[in-house]
């Protein structure tokens, strides 16, 4: 099935279903996805190139591109709700991620002081102190938690390195500005069933959320084509049923179909 890549360092602004008018920042190559996950639902396609061989945009290029874009948009009175780090894979893999975040916050304060800075991350690098500190300084620290069941994580996210779920939850709990994003889906991949909406999955996920106490839980489902065949979105009505359970444990939740 068709997937797409972002073709520049800075893209948009676009109308995001979760983040409003969002200016995107891609810290990864324009011609391939670079990630330590290989999620069956990823809109950027499969992870094909080893992380070590990827050529990432350098720090100066990113600074210049973001400064020029924000200056231009500000001159045109273009509203921006969010500056969002997402792009073609996992943004925290960039070796200068922490410095880039610091510079972005300065540019935000200069050009769009009322906008927010967001990072969409798969949570795998939050044990790194520099990355953790950088994420702690932003407004929307949106970290992935598609499941807390080891076998389900292996099937859905296809991590390069096995995830230690207990360690992951411990690392997530350290953030005061934590937001959790969870994509719910159903289907099958390589003869393995996929369904993180079962009662058991959801109850274990809810138990983790109680411990993590995030500022916001974002639940959503597939909207675009996926690299894996036989991967299907969850009905909006099901998402709202799950959202109601999140509300019952006292947490704020947003739903995107």
pLDDT tens, position by position, 24-71: 999 998 778 889 999 999 887 777 766 666 778 899 999 999 999 999
Q: What pTM value is reported for the model?
A: 0.93
CB–CB of 218/142 below 8 Å? yes
**pLDDT band of 2, cuts 50, 70, 90:** very low
Angle among Cα 96, 101, 104 to the nearest 5 degrees reads 125
Q: Is 32 helix (H, G, I), strand (E, B) or coil?
A: coil
Helix (H, G, I), strand (E, B) or coil at 63: helix
Report helix angle 97-111 to 59-75, nearest 10: 20
How many residues make up the chain in this entry?
A: 257
Report pLDDT digits (tens) over 179-217.
999 999 999 888 899 999 999 999 999 999 999 999 999
Q: Is the dihedral of CA 113, 95, 150, 169 positive or negative?
A: negative
- Dihedral (Cα; 184, 243, 181, 213), 10-degree rounding: -140
SS3 call for 121: strand
> How many other CB atoms are there within 10 angstroms of residue 78's CB atom?
14
Yes or no: say if 40 and 46 are a contact pair by the CB < 8 Å rule. Answer: no
Contacts for 162 with CB less than 8 Å, ≥ 6 apart: 154
What kind and span of H or E run contains 181? strand 178-189
d(CA 113, CA 105): 9
């Amino acid at each position: 099935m068709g997937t797409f890549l972002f073709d520049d360092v800075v893209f948009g602004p676009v109308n995001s279903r979760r983040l409003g008018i969002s200016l995107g920042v891609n810290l990864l190559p324009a011609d391939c996805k670079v990630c330590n996950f290989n999620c069956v639902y990823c809109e950027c396609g499969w992870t094909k190139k080893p992380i070590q061989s990827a050529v990432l945009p350098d720090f100066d290029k990113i600074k210049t591109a973001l400064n020029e874009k924000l200056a231009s948009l500000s001159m045109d009175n273009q509203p921006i709700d969010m500056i969002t780090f997402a792009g073609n894979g996992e943004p925290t893999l960039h070796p200068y991620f922490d410095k880039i975040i610091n510079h972005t916050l300065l540019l935000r304060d200069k050009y769009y002081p009322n906008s927010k800075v967001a990072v969409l991350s798969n949570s795998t690098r939050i044990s790194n102190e520099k990355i953790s500190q950088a994420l702690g300084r932003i407004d929307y620290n949106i970290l992935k938690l598609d499941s807390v069941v080891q076998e389900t994580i292996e099937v859905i996210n296809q991590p390069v390195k096995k995830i230690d779920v207990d360690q992951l939850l411990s690392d997530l709990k350290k953030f005061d500005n934590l937001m959790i994003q969870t994509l719910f889906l159903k289907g099958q991949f390589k003869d393995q069933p996929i369904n993180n909406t079962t009662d058991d999955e959801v109850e274990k996920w809810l138990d983790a959320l109680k411990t993590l106490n995030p500022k916001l839980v974002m639940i959503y489902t597939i909207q675009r084509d996926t690299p894996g065949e036989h991967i299907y979105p969850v009905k909006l009505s099901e998402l709202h049923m799950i959202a109601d359970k999140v509300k019952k444990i006292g947490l704020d939740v947003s739903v995107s179909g």
